[in-house]
Structure 1
Amino acid sequence: MAENTDYRQALSVALKARADWLEKSELGKLKDELRLYHTGFASLYNLYLKKGLINEDPYKQEAKIGELEVPDTSSFTDATRLDQLSMRLSTYDNQLDFLVNFYQFSADFLTLDRIKRIVGLVKYIDWVHLTPDSQSANTMAVAEMTNQIKTGAEPLTMSVISESLAHLNRSYTPIMGYLKSLTDYQRELYKLELRNSITSEMGPADAAQVPPIKRKWAQINPGKPFYPDLAEEVIKEDTTKEGPALRERILKSLAVAEVKPKAAKPQVSFKSILLEGVQLIGTTAQAFQDVAGKMDENHILLENKKQSFWQKVKKAMAQMLNKEPDPVIYEVEYIDPVRGVPVRDKINFVSFRTDLDKKVRTLSTISVRGTGLAKLEAMQEEQIISFLEKNIREIQSLHKILAALDEFFKAATDRADREKVKGIKPELATIKNAIIRANAKRHEYSAQKEEEEQLKRLGVNPSAQGA
């Protein structure tokens, strides 16, 4: 029918415009919200690890993910609770990390099946109704652990919990809204494909029934999912008297609203964005301090096993005579973040520890309660961003070396003493999380500055807009 042909053409044009709008306007926001969602969960996950409520997954870093998968949601017994929670939350953290850092965010890639997987991850734990009487085994267990941490928690821990839960709750509604827009687009795209490749090539009788449509779909698209409900919608829209009204309603729902000039908004304090990034970096002080203590214990454990009696006597004599001790060199290996190849490095442990203590003192002054922020507030924006970028680079370097030392101590210690080695993965995750969030503030600052420059190039005075 000519009427159906015209509709397919109009639908194709509307879907292309809708895809462009999703790409330019919505998908970036969806990814940002999902990143905040992961940040909120990662902070809580690290707290659960630090408090010993779940165990560290020894295979977490080795997990290979090819496609998103929702972790197990089945119930578990008290006897298997610890193992199940440890494994499930580790898997969940990996899946969210894969989603925000490696998944492709495009209108056509995010098919109905992939949207369903993302929805499953977002709903995996009901953060909006996080109560111990939840019907979900995972939500109930997470609620119990969170309440357990809150009991007698210090102010900093309570702040982390509150901020994390706020991120998770705030992000839920916009994430589901963006996914709903994507779902609507994908449903109509799928129905257009049904029309173009299936029903338009069939006789009127077969095109009005689901079974023959399904058979032909399986022949043309082996392995691709078939959605009977969408086939029924195509039949209703193309063969019934309600069809014209339904088709008109669909075209209206896909139409992209005309972009209107943005209303004037108050001028953003760019400096405050940078200072928030600096504060986030400062919060790593406690994690680095905890790591330093564990590194010292691992170092003593290893050196005591390596040194003979006379070496220990020689060391004691050197200390009595105030001589500089011989350097302790550990050869570690890590992946070069730029080239992606293994790199061997020699770490002077004593010198490294001295530098780490200095860094902890510096970070402590720029934390939320630190005194160094007053000096930074008096600086120019260029000086603050330079300070922020320098500290992010230094913390990334420390994180890389500490992760390598963690692996080194585990590998170098005798099997009998391996359980005595103090792992630092929870602290490393906390530090990584702070780096990600500080970098996000740096990017936010750059985006705001770029917008300001564009307005200036267009002859618009940003200050006048904010007036």
Structure 2
Amino acid sequence: MAGDNDYLKTLTEVLAARADWLEKSELPKLKEEFRTFHTAFVALYKLFLKKGLIIEDPYKNEVKIGELEVPDTAPFAESDYKDEYSLRLSSYDNQLDFLVNFYQFSVDFLTVEKIKRILGLVRFIDWTRLSNNSEVPNNKAMMEILNAAKAGADPLSASIINESLSNLSKTTGSILSYLKLVSDYNRETYKLELRTTVLSTLTESEASVLPTIRKKFATAMPGKPFYPDLVAEIVKENSNTGKPLRDEVIKQMTVPDTRPKTVAPQIIFKNILIEGLNAIGSVGSFLNEVGVKLDENAALMENRKNGFWDKLKRVIQQMLNKEPDPTVFDVEYMDPVKGAPVREKIDFAQFRGEMDRKTRTLTALASRSGGAFDKMQSMNENQLMGMLEKNIREIQTIHKVLGALDDFFKIEAGREDRDKVKGIKPELATMKNAIVKANQRRHEYSAQKEEEEQMRKLGISSGE
């Protein structure tokens, strides 16, 4: 066909440019959208566990994932509702964590099959169409849990629910848009390979016969899936009236105009710092749950001190109108700098008050909208960096004390009460991950600022 070689040359160049654009521009955005999506789901998941609306999976942290798998979407009996749906949500959380932290976001890795798996995961619960009338099993179950969670919810819980649902709905739309970009690229790449590997070896008449193409395909591209609909597209594009179709393919695959726009570099840098604050702020969504467990453990310790002299002491304090002695726990932790154990007395009531105040601050930092977010946007880089470093230090201190208290309660409870102690190891691990992510953003900011300074010294503009 006349002009076919020119078309293949142009298409090859256009697809190469598009792959580069997807890798550098769109796929990082897709991964960030999934981060937001997962963070929003985790906030709901933790809240449901806290309220006892679902059951914690005891084997959740032992699951090993090699490839994405969509949790079960089939109907389940009403009698199995809580157990079955709890397991599905636990699996859903694990799969999203694997996707965000271990999956490759590259055009070569995201094949048609892998995109199908990701789409199945995104649509496992349709966050854009949740309603009380839904007949889809997972959607229906989610609405029942949400309605139960909203009933008599405190302001913090209501805020978590509303913001999480909003973020899940928004990011679903963005994710589907980015996945379509990759899917469209895959389609045209597949068609180009088919043209160069299979159709180029056939005569013009043979290249329009589907059975002939399929037969040649089996030997020329073994192990690859055969898509009749894409072959039909090629046949139409190769016909005498196919030039407008070929032109449309080139137009669709051509990278959008990405000429540099006048954007202040500090806006980009500020976003890195705000992402760090969002990351450390995510601790607030489950710190309340930790507080409840600590209160129960502290009460267990106090109940062990109900001997005769303890009771007499409290009676005398009441008679003298004296405040009861503060609850102080003598804990021990390893100092990472000195490499030696350090003992510290923790005034439990004071520490819990600091925890509650910090939780409110963190909840505001995790938000990507509202007054706190607007305030962060209005701050300069030095202010944001100071705020990020301060919050990282404070959460590291809280994490250190929580770990020490967790060990203290398990040791001091005694053999008869040890099973009653509420452990917080999973929460400590999640806190650690949030600290790591926040620190990564802090280091990324510093590295990019240093790079910009080096470029400035060399007389190179960052906008070039």
The TM-score bracket by the shorter chain reads 0.7 to 0.9
Partner SS, residue 80 of structure 1: helix
Q: Offset at 1:13?
A: 1.0
Alpha-carbon distance, 1:178 to partner? 1.3
Give the 3-state SS of the residue equivalent to 1:67 in structure 2.
coil
Question: Which residue matches 1:464?
Answer: none
Aligned to 2:88: 88
The answer as to whether partners of 2:39 and 2:282 remain within 8 angstroms in 1 is no
Gaps of 5+ in 1: 337-343, 462-467
User: Where does residue 133 of structure 1 map in the other structure?
Assistant: 133
Q: CA deviation at 1:111?
A: 1.3
Q: Which residue of 2 aligns with 1:124?
A: 124
Whether the 8 Å CA contact 2:281–2:364 is kept in 1: the answer is: no
**Alpha-carbon distance, 1:393 to partner:** 4.9
* Structure 1: distance between partners of 2:409 and 2:120: 38
Confirm whether residue 363 of structure 1 aligns to residue 354 of structure 2. no
**Matching of residues 135-150 of structure 1 within 5 Å:** 135-150=135-150
How many angstroms apart in 1 are the aligned matches of 2:244 and 2:274? 55
Alpha-carbon distance change, 59 to 26 in structure 1, aligned in 2, over 3 angstroms:
same
Aligned partners of 1:451 and 1:129: how far apart in 2? Answer: 45
Q: Aligned partners of 2:93 and 2:18: how far apart in 1?
A: 32
* 8 Å contact from structure 1 (residues 49, 55) kept in 2: yes
CA deviation vs aligned residue, 1:362-393 (integer Å, no higher than 9, x gap) = 626845789xx9xx999985365245224325
1:392–1:413 CA distance, 2 compared to 1 (3 A): same
**Could you tell me whether the CA contact under 8 Å between 2:107 and 2:182 is conserved in 1?**
yes
2:29 is aligned to: 29
After the TM superposition, which residues 231-310 of structure 1 pair with which residues of structure 2 at under 5 Å, given as runs?
A: 231-238=231-238, 240-263=239-262, 281=280, 284=283, 287-288=286-287, 290-295=289-294, 297-298=296-297
Amino acid in the other structure paired with 2:118:
I
1:23-76 per-residue CA deviation (whole Å, 9 max, x = no partner) reads 222111111111111111111111111111111111211221122221111111
Q: Distance in 2 between matches of 1:12 and 1:208?
A: 22
Cα RMSD of the aligned pairs, angstroms, is: 5.0
Q: For 1:12-411, what aligned pairs fall within 5 Å after superposition?
A: 12-238=12-238, 240-263=239-262, 281=280, 284=283, 287-288=286-287, 290-295=289-294, 297-298=296-297, 357=352, 360=355, 363=358, 366=361, 381-382=381-382, 385-393=385-393, 395-396=395-396, 399=399
More moved, 147-156 vs 260-269: 260-269
Of the structure 1 ranges 254-263 and 18-27, higher mean CA displacement relative to structure 2 is found in 254-263
Contact 1:274 1:442 in 2 (8 A): yes
Answer yes or no: is the 8 Å Cα contact 1:71–1:91 preserved in 2: yes
**Higher mean C-alpha displacement, 396-405 vs 128-137:** 396-405
Distance 2:108 2:154 in 1: 47
Q: Distance in 2 between matches of 1:154 and 1:143?
A: 19
**What is the identity, as a one-letter code, of the residue corresponding to 2:95?**
Q
Q: CA deviation at 1:8?
A: 2.1
Q: Structure 1 residues 255 and 362 mapped into 2: Cα distance closer, same or farther (>3 Å)?
A: same
Asked if the contact 2:50–2:289 (Cα under 8 Å) also holds between the matched residues in 1, the reply is no
Give, as a single letter, the amino acid of the residue that structure 2 aligns with 1:360.
Answer: M
Letter in 2 for 1:255: T
For 2:49 and 2:90, locate their aligned partners in 1 and report how far apart those are by CA, in whole Å: 10
How high is the sequence identity, in percent, across the aligned residues?
49
Deviation of 1:245 after TM superposition, in Å, equals 2.4
Gaps of 5+ in 2: 317-324, 366-371
Q: CA deviation at 1:227?
A: 1.7
Could you tell me the TM-score, scaled by structure 2's length? 0.74
Aligned equivalents of 2:436 and 2:39: distance in 1?
Answer: 8
1:82 corresponds to which letter in structure 2? K
Q: Do 2:297 and 2:409's aligned partners in 1 also have CA atoms closer than 8 Å? A: yes
